């Protein structure tokens, strides 16, 4: 279970809020896949996501790709970050 709140469109000079609820599974090799509803001011659509977490020592780097096809076109995003664990 994961909730993702994003603000997109900033590169176009517009703020478009988006809320996605993903339900998925994480495999033993840190690969994950999820699916769930995505809500924006334009409406609701189905979001699909894939992700992989890479580890380097105490550093963990998740990389996630999401695609949301809708009647207004296809929205996509790439999210990454890092965390340190002991």
pLDDT for 9-50, tens place per residue?
899 999 989 999 999 999 988 899 999 999 999 899 999 999
> For position 29, what pLDDT does the model report?
86
Task: Kindly report the pTM of this predicted structure.
Answer: 0.80
**Per-position DSSP letters for the chain, written without gaps between them:** -EEEEEEE-GGGT--EEEEEEEEEEE-TTSEEEEEEEEEETTEEEEEEEEEEEEEETTEEEEEEEEEEEETTEEEEEEEE--EE--
């Amino acid at each position: 279970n994961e909730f993702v709140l994003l603000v997109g469109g900033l590169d176009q000079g517009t703020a478009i809020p988006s809320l996605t609820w993903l339900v998925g599974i994480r495999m033993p090799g840190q690969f994950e896949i999820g699916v769930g509803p995505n809500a924006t001011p334009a409406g609701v659509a189905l979001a699909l996501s894939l992700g992989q977490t890479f580890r380097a020592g105490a550093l963990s780097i998740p990389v996630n790709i999401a695609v949301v096809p809708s009647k207004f076109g296809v929205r996509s995003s790439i999210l990454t970050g890092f965390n340190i664990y002991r």
